[in-house]
Protein backbone atom coordinates (compact mmCIF):
# COMPACT_ATOMS: atom_id res chain seq x y z
CA UNK A 1 0.00 0.00 0.00
CA UNK A 2 1.41 3.37 -1.04
CA UNK A 3 0.27 6.93 -0.49
CA UNK A 4 -0.75 6.46 3.13
CA UNK A 5 0.79 9.83 4.02
CA UNK A 6 -0.26 11.68 0.88
CA UNK A 7 -0.82 15.37 1.55
CA UNK A 8 0.80 15.26 4.97
CA UNK A 9 3.94 17.05 6.12
CA UNK A 10 6.48 15.51 8.49
CA UNK A 11 9.38 16.80 10.52
CA UNK A 12 11.94 14.13 11.39
CA UNK A 13 14.48 14.92 14.09
CA UNK A 14 17.59 12.76 13.77
CA UNK A 15 17.04 12.23 10.05
CA UNK A 16 20.73 11.80 9.32
CA UNK A 17 22.76 8.67 9.85
CA UNK A 18 25.69 8.34 12.26
CA UNK A 19 27.68 6.41 9.67
CA UNK A 20 27.44 4.69 6.29
CA UNK A 21 24.20 2.80 5.87
CA UNK A 22 20.68 3.33 7.19
CA UNK A 23 19.92 4.61 10.65
CA UNK A 24 16.38 4.62 12.04
CA UNK A 25 15.77 8.32 11.41
CA UNK A 26 17.15 8.29 7.89
CA UNK A 27 15.02 5.28 6.95
CA UNK A 28 11.92 6.82 8.53
CA UNK A 29 12.33 10.08 6.62
CA UNK A 30 12.67 8.24 3.31
CA UNK A 31 9.79 5.89 4.15
CA UNK A 32 7.53 8.84 4.98
CA UNK A 33 8.38 10.45 1.64
CA UNK A 34 7.74 7.22 -0.28
CA UNK A 35 4.26 7.20 1.26
CA UNK A 36 3.59 10.71 -0.02
CA UNK A 37 4.64 13.01 2.82
CA UNK A 38 6.66 16.15 2.39
CA UNK A 39 9.56 15.74 4.78
CA UNK A 40 11.78 18.11 6.73
CA UNK A 41 14.98 16.21 7.47
CA UNK A 42 16.48 17.65 10.65
CA UNK A 43 19.87 16.72 12.03
CA UNK A 44 22.62 18.28 14.11
CA UNK A 45 24.98 17.73 11.16
CA UNK A 46 23.81 19.75 8.17
CA UNK A 47 25.51 17.42 5.69
CA UNK A 48 23.71 14.39 7.16
CA UNK A 49 20.34 16.13 6.90
CA UNK A 50 21.06 17.14 3.32
CA UNK A 51 22.14 13.61 2.37
CA UNK A 52 18.77 12.23 3.44
CA UNK A 53 16.84 15.06 1.81
CA UNK A 54 18.79 14.53 -1.42
CA UNK A 55 17.87 10.83 -1.45
CA UNK A 56 14.21 11.80 -1.13
CA UNK A 57 14.40 14.44 -3.87
CA UNK A 58 16.29 12.09 -6.18
CA UNK A 59 13.37 9.66 -5.87
CA UNK A 60 11.00 12.41 -6.99
CA UNK A 61 9.58 13.40 -3.64
CA UNK A 62 9.67 16.65 -1.66
CA UNK A 63 12.11 17.31 1.17
CA UNK A 64 14.09 20.05 2.83
CA UNK A 65 17.16 19.77 5.04
CA UNK A 66 17.50 21.68 8.31
CA UNK A 67 20.39 21.75 10.78
CA UNK A 68 19.19 21.93 14.39
CA UNK A 69 20.34 21.03 17.88
CA UNK A 70 17.73 19.04 19.84
CA UNK A 71 19.26 20.20 23.13
CA UNK A 72 18.44 23.82 22.24
CA UNK A 73 14.79 24.91 22.26
CA UNK A 74 15.34 27.97 20.06
CA UNK A 75 17.01 25.80 17.43
CA UNK A 76 14.09 23.36 17.45
CA UNK A 77 11.53 26.17 17.27
CA UNK A 78 13.34 27.62 14.27
CA UNK A 79 13.27 24.21 12.56
CA UNK A 80 9.55 23.85 13.24
CA UNK A 81 8.82 27.33 11.90
CA UNK A 82 10.85 26.69 8.75
CA UNK A 83 9.02 23.41 8.18
CA UNK A 84 5.59 24.96 8.68
CA UNK A 85 6.44 27.79 6.31
CA UNK A 86 7.75 25.42 3.66
CA UNK A 87 4.89 22.93 3.82
CA UNK A 88 1.98 24.96 5.15
CA UNK A 89 1.93 23.19 8.52
CA UNK A 90 3.21 20.12 10.34
CA UNK A 91 1.13 16.97 10.52
CA UNK A 92 3.72 14.44 11.72
CA UNK A 93 6.44 14.77 14.34
CA UNK A 94 9.02 11.99 14.46
CA UNK A 95 11.65 11.94 17.22
CA UNK A 96 14.66 9.72 16.64
CA UNK A 97 17.56 11.36 18.51
CA UNK A 98 19.20 9.42 21.33
CA UNK A 99 22.48 8.42 22.92
CA UNK A 100 23.84 5.40 24.76
CA UNK A 101 26.40 5.79 27.55
CA UNK A 102 27.64 2.65 29.22
CA UNK A 103 27.84 2.28 32.97
CA UNK A 104 25.78 1.98 36.11
CA UNK A 105 25.45 4.89 38.52
CA UNK A 106 28.85 4.10 40.06
CA UNK A 107 30.75 4.04 36.76
CA UNK A 108 28.80 6.70 34.89
CA UNK A 109 29.93 10.26 35.47
CA UNK A 110 27.31 12.94 36.01
CA UNK A 111 28.11 14.74 32.78
CA UNK A 112 27.22 11.68 30.72
CA UNK A 113 24.11 11.06 32.80
CA UNK A 114 22.99 14.62 32.10
CA UNK A 115 23.76 14.12 28.41
CA UNK A 116 21.43 11.11 28.40
CA UNK A 117 18.66 13.26 29.86
CA UNK A 118 19.30 16.01 27.33
CA UNK A 119 19.44 13.70 24.31
CA UNK A 120 16.96 10.94 25.13
CA UNK A 121 14.03 12.54 26.94
CA UNK A 122 14.81 16.25 26.46
CA UNK A 123 13.97 16.26 22.73
CA UNK A 124 10.53 14.77 23.38
CA UNK A 125 9.70 17.79 25.53
CA UNK A 126 11.36 20.39 23.30
CA UNK A 127 9.99 19.17 19.97
CA UNK A 128 6.51 18.80 21.43
CA UNK A 129 6.72 22.34 22.77
CA UNK A 130 7.72 23.63 19.34
CA UNK A 131 5.49 21.50 17.11
CA UNK A 132 2.27 21.08 19.11
CA UNK A 133 1.10 24.67 18.46
CA UNK A 134 1.25 23.96 14.71
CA UNK A 135 -0.75 20.74 15.15
CA UNK A 136 -3.29 22.42 17.39
CA UNK A 137 -3.75 25.16 14.82
CA UNK A 138 -4.36 22.54 12.13
CA UNK A 139 -6.74 20.53 14.31
CA UNK A 140 -4.66 17.38 14.66
CA UNK A 141 -1.48 15.47 14.03
CA UNK A 142 0.55 12.39 14.85
CA UNK A 143 3.63 12.09 17.05
CA UNK A 144 5.93 9.07 16.83
CA UNK A 145 8.73 8.84 19.37
CA UNK A 146 11.53 6.30 19.17
CA UNK A 147 12.04 4.66 22.54
CA UNK A 148 13.72 1.28 23.07
CA UNK A 149 13.04 -2.21 24.33
CA UNK A 150 15.38 -1.08 27.14
CA UNK A 151 12.50 1.06 28.42
CA UNK A 152 10.76 -2.07 29.70
CA UNK A 153 13.42 -4.80 29.79
CA UNK A 154 16.96 -5.27 31.01
CA UNK A 155 18.65 -6.19 27.74
CA UNK A 156 22.05 -7.23 29.03
CA UNK A 157 23.99 -3.99 28.63
CA UNK A 158 25.11 -1.89 31.62
CA UNK A 159 23.57 1.42 30.58
CA UNK A 160 21.64 2.74 33.55
CA UNK A 161 20.94 6.16 32.05
CA UNK A 162 19.61 4.69 28.83
CA UNK A 163 17.15 2.41 30.65
CA UNK A 164 15.91 5.30 32.77
CA UNK A 165 15.55 7.88 30.02
CA UNK A 166 13.92 5.53 27.53
CA UNK A 167 11.37 4.55 30.17
CA UNK A 168 10.70 8.27 30.50
CA UNK A 169 10.11 8.50 26.74
CA UNK A 170 7.41 5.85 27.02
CA UNK A 171 5.48 7.62 29.76
CA UNK A 172 5.99 11.04 28.19
CA UNK A 173 4.40 9.64 25.04
CA UNK A 174 1.42 8.38 27.03
CA UNK A 175 1.09 11.78 28.70
CA UNK A 176 1.05 13.54 25.31
CA UNK A 177 -1.48 11.05 23.95
CA UNK A 178 -3.90 11.56 26.81
CA UNK A 179 -3.57 15.32 27.13
CA UNK A 180 -4.12 16.02 23.46
CA UNK A 181 -6.46 13.21 22.42
CA UNK A 182 -9.51 15.49 22.29
CA UNK A 183 -7.58 17.90 20.07
CA UNK A 184 -7.07 15.23 17.40
CA UNK A 185 -3.42 14.62 18.17
CA UNK A 186 -2.20 11.05 18.53
CA UNK A 187 1.09 10.08 20.17
CA UNK A 188 2.71 6.67 20.09
CA UNK A 189 6.21 5.33 20.48
CA UNK A 190 8.21 2.50 18.99
CA UNK A 191 10.47 0.33 21.12
CA UNK A 192 13.10 -1.11 18.79
CA UNK A 193 14.85 -4.23 20.00
CA UNK A 194 18.19 -5.25 18.55
CA UNK A 195 18.48 -3.31 15.30
CA UNK A 196 21.48 -3.40 12.96
CA UNK A 197 22.21 0.30 12.38
CA UNK A 198 25.43 2.34 12.13
CA UNK A 199 24.95 3.50 15.73
CA UNK A 200 25.64 0.09 17.28
CA UNK A 201 29.09 -0.03 15.71
CA UNK A 202 29.92 3.24 17.49
CA UNK A 203 28.17 2.83 20.84
CA UNK A 204 27.78 -0.93 21.46
CA UNK A 205 30.64 -2.77 19.77
CA UNK A 206 33.05 -1.96 22.60
CA UNK A 207 31.17 -4.40 24.82
CA UNK A 208 32.39 -7.29 22.65
CA UNK A 209 35.71 -8.73 21.55
CA UNK A 210 35.06 -7.90 17.90
CA UNK A 211 32.38 -6.58 15.58
CA UNK A 212 31.69 -10.09 14.30
CA UNK A 213 31.21 -11.29 17.88
CA UNK A 214 28.77 -8.44 18.51
CA UNK A 215 26.69 -9.21 15.44
CA UNK A 216 26.57 -12.94 16.19
CA UNK A 217 25.64 -12.38 19.83
CA UNK A 218 22.89 -9.88 19.02
CA UNK A 219 21.44 -12.12 16.32
CA UNK A 220 21.35 -15.01 18.77
CA UNK A 221 19.35 -12.96 21.29
CA UNK A 222 16.45 -12.42 18.88
CA UNK A 223 13.79 -15.17 18.75
CA UNK A 224 13.43 -14.66 14.99
CA UNK A 225 17.17 -15.35 14.72
CA UNK A 226 18.44 -12.05 13.36
CA UNK A 227 18.59 -8.38 14.25
CA UNK A 228 16.08 -6.10 12.63
CA UNK A 229 16.92 -3.24 10.30
CA UNK A 230 16.10 0.45 10.26
CA UNK A 231 13.43 -0.33 7.67
CA UNK A 232 11.56 -2.48 10.17
CA UNK A 233 11.38 0.50 12.52
CA UNK A 234 10.48 2.83 9.64
CA UNK A 235 7.58 0.59 8.58
CA UNK A 236 6.12 0.79 12.07
CA UNK A 237 6.60 4.57 12.08
CA UNK A 238 4.73 4.95 8.79
CA UNK A 239 1.84 2.91 10.13
CA UNK A 240 1.59 4.86 13.38
CA UNK A 241 1.78 8.19 11.53
CA UNK A 242 -0.87 7.19 9.00
CA UNK A 243 -4.65 7.18 9.17
CA UNK A 244 -4.49 3.38 9.31
CA UNK A 245 -3.64 3.97 12.99
CA UNK A 246 -6.30 6.62 13.51
CA UNK A 247 -7.74 4.74 16.52
CA UNK A 248 -4.35 4.02 18.09
CA UNK A 249 -2.79 6.39 20.61
CA UNK A 250 -0.70 6.06 23.76
CA UNK A 251 0.83 2.79 22.54
CA UNK A 252 4.44 1.70 23.12
CA UNK A 253 5.00 -0.78 20.30
CA UNK A 254 7.85 -3.32 20.44
CA UNK A 255 9.61 -3.88 17.12
CA UNK A 256 11.95 -6.53 18.40
CA UNK A 257 11.59 -9.88 16.67
CA UNK A 258 9.80 -11.25 19.72
CA UNK A 259 12.53 -10.46 22.22
CA UNK A 260 10.17 -8.77 24.67
CA UNK A 261 8.19 -12.03 24.86
CA UNK A 262 11.17 -14.28 25.55
CA UNK A 263 12.84 -15.39 28.74
CA UNK A 264 16.59 -15.32 28.18
CA UNK A 265 19.44 -16.61 30.32
CA UNK A 266 20.74 -13.87 32.58
CA UNK A 267 24.31 -13.07 31.58
Please give the chain's pLDDT, 267 residues, in tens.
Answer: 579 999 999 999 999 986 678 999 999 999 999 999 999 999 999 999 999 999 999 999 999 999 999 999 999 999 999 999 999 999 999 999 989 898 999 999 999 999 999 999 999 999 999 999 999 999 999 999 999 999 999 988 899 999 999 999 999 999 999 999 999 999 999 999 999 988 788 777 677 888 889 899 899 999 999 999 999 999 999 999 999 999 999 999 999 999 999 876 544
Set 159, 162, 163, 180: catalytic member:
162
Q: Which residues pair with 40 in a beta bridge?
A: 11, 64
What CATH number does the domain located at 9-193+230-251 have?
Answer: 3.40.50.720
Q: Where are the domains of the chain?
A: 9-193+230-251
Upper half-sphere CA count for residue 233 (Cβ side, 13 Å): 32
What is the DSSP secondary-structure string of 76-143?
HHHHHHHHHHHHTS--EEEE-------B-TTTS-HHHHHHHIIIIIHHHHHHHHHHHHHHHHHT-EEE
Query: Is 163 an annotated catalytic residue?
Result: no
Upper half-sphere CA count for residue 29 (Cβ side, 13 Å): 34
Contact 82, 68 (CB under 8 A): no
Amino acid sequence: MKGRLQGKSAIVFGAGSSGPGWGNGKAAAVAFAREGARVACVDLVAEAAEETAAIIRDEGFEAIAIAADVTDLASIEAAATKTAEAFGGIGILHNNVGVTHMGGPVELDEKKFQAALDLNIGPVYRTAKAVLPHMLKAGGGAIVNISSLAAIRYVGYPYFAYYATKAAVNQATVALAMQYARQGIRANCIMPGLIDTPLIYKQISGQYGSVDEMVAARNAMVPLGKMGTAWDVAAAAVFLASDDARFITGVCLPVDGGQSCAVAEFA
